Structure 1
Amino acid sequence: MGAAFGWGLVAGSSLVIGSLIAIWFHISLRVIGLIMGFGAGVLISAVAFDLVEEATEKSSGQGVAVWGLFIGCAVFFGGDWLISRIGGGDRKDAGGDQEGGSALGIVLGSVLDGIPESLVIGLTIFEGGAVGAAYLAAVFISNLPESISATTGLASGGWKKSHILWMWIGIAVVSGLASLAGYSQFQDSSPDTTAFVLAFAAGAILTMLADTMMPEAFEHGGKLVGVVTTLGFAVAFGIHALG
């Protein structure tokens, strides 16, 4: 169980690293957009090869994975809509639009973004005895641009840098706890239940990418984002293939 929490914390630690990078160095909005595009490509690859493919192989029929995918999408969409209503809709914005939002909404939104991917880390540890290197690398890499962009925007919106840093530290700990939950809550699960959880996470992550991450990437990075997104996908697929 300690390993599940530890690996979830490792994946979440890149949120803190990304925040420190944004605090210590000035990064242009265009570069942030391109970095976010790369991170989106990494996550798309992880969804395709580490989640959906695995869910399909474990399930007794295609319906389990499909239901999980769409229910994960619906749950994230609903949660994101509610969080947007309380001021967390612009949590990843690099331009400072968070100034008009609420601290609670931004924190809850950031937690919502990270829980699905962290649950899977714990689940994969239980299933195989060790966390999948490709998936862990994908989550770690994709967290960096998310926190760089959000930290830049929060700082521009008037948040104190110490408050921003503590927020990401807290979310990293929550990521570890979510991974621990994924490990402990599904120990007696059937293959179909495991497949459903994997597909659920995939649907939630895809919806997060489309709703919050990729729009920001294209807004600030322009058409070149398509190229770096493909590059991110290729890098993550390469890690998956080697693993």
Structure 2
Amino acid sequence: MAQWVEAGGWGLLAGSALLLGAVLGYTVRVPQWVVASVMAFGAGVLMSAVSFELLGEAYDQAGLAPAAAGTIGGALAYTAGNVWLARRGARHRKRSGHRRRQPSESQQAGSGLALALGALLDGVPESTVIGVSLLEGGAVSTVTVAAVFISNVPEGLSSSAGMRRAGRGPGYVFGVWGAIAAAGTVAAVLGNTVVGQLPTAVVAAVTAVAAGAILAMIADTMIPEAFEDTHLAIGLITVSGFLLSFTLSHT
């Protein structure tokens, strides 16, 4: 099997968790504390994967300077995109509507498109690094795939529940998450084929950019949603996710 095909398959697998979460969030009345707890757990898993898989790999490949520069660049790029989208109605795109609601289209025109673009902004860096991970030794990083998959379920669940409460129909909700899963597949292929042709230092910097964007996303969207309903338990739950990912990366 061609490596780029394998990269696309892994990207599709990780992205399919968004659809799984969307189905649960749109059709099942999941208690808010469960959504928040799973979100906290997913945040811990992602933070560990970023630390030990992405940034560790970038540092080993090119040293501290490219890793640090890429991380800051990724965080800046994500934050700039997030600020632009927040002004158009996507500020609470991962909120399920318990305390903070996503706006409906009648409340803020264009917010539906902003929500879709926000989901794309959140998902593409994760999928790109899945494709990049195949470049080292020809085997995908199972820790990265597992981390993205686990974190995508609560993302899709919480956001789709919020979309339903904002009055958006199933065609829109599942269309958005299906498109994001497809975009993740393409991002994984491009990460493997395009990034794979670049010098090692550039590959390391791109990996660090994705890491910075993911960390900014966790702090800006996942942790706030988790904190609203887990409060004092969020630390323990997040650490549990972090420890699981750490264990996977060292076994």
TM-score (norm 2): 0.93
- Determine if contact 2:90/2:102 at 8 Å carries over to the other structure: no
> What does 1:105-120 align with in structure 2 at a 5 Å threshold?
105-120=114-129
Question: Structure 2: how far apart are the matches of 1:29 and 1:169?
Answer: 24
Give yes or no for the alignment of 1:97 onto 2:102: yes
Q: CA deviation at 1:126?
A: 2.6
- Determine if contact 2:196/2:203 at 8 Å carries over to the other structure: no
Question: Structure 2: how far apart are the matches of 1:111 and 1:183?
Answer: 19
- For 1:19, what is the secondary structure of its paired residue? helix
- Determine if contact 1:29/1:221 at 8 Å carries over to the other structure: no
Q: Which residue of 2 aligns with 1:167?
A: 176
Give yes or no for the alignment of 1:8 onto 2:11: yes
Q: Which residue of 2 aligns with 1:88?
A: 90
- Pick aligned residue for 2:197 from 188, 195, 207: 188
Question: Structure 2: how far apart are the matches of 1:194 and 1:105?
Answer: 30
> What does 1:7-156 align with in structure 2 at a 5 Å threshold?
7-59=10-62, 61-95=63-97, 96-99=101-104, 100-101=107-108, 102-156=111-165
Q: CA deviation at 1:128?
A: 2.6
Question: Structure 1: how far apart are the matches of 2:57 and 2:203?
Answer: 9
Question: Structure 2: how far apart are the matches of 1:21 and 1:230?
Answer: 25
Runs (4 or more) in structure 1 with deviation over 3 Å come to none
- Identity value in percent: 39
Aligned length: 241
Specify every segment of 5 or more residues in structure 1 that has no aligned partner in the other structure, as ranges: none
- Pick aligned residue for 1:218 from 227, 231, 239: 227
Residue identity in the other structure for 2:171: S
Structure 2 CA distance for partners of 1:188 and 1:97, relative to 1, 3 Å:
closer
Specify every segment of 5 or more residues in structure 2 that has no aligned partner in the other structure, as ranges: none
Structure 2 CA distance for partners of 1:232 and 1:196, relative to 1, 3 Å:
same
Residue identity in the other structure for 1:109: G
Question: Structure 2: how far apart are the matches of 1:36 and 1:188?
Answer: 35
- Pick aligned residue for 2:244 from 232, 235, 241: 235
Q: Which moved more, 1:40-49 or 1:185-194?
A: 185-194
- For 2:196, what is the secondary structure of its paired residue? coil
Q: Which moved more, 1:213-222 or 1:70-79?
A: 213-222
Q: CA deviation at 1:219?
A: 1.1
Residue identity in the other structure for 2:234: V
Question: Structure 2: how far apart are the matches of 1:91 and 1:204?
Answer: 16
Question: Structure 2: how far apart are the matches of 1:10 and 1:205?
Answer: 18
- For 1:97, what is the secondary structure of its paired residue? coil
Q: CA deviation at 1:83?
A: 1.0
Question: Structure 2: how far apart are the matches of 1:10 and 1:39?
Answer: 16
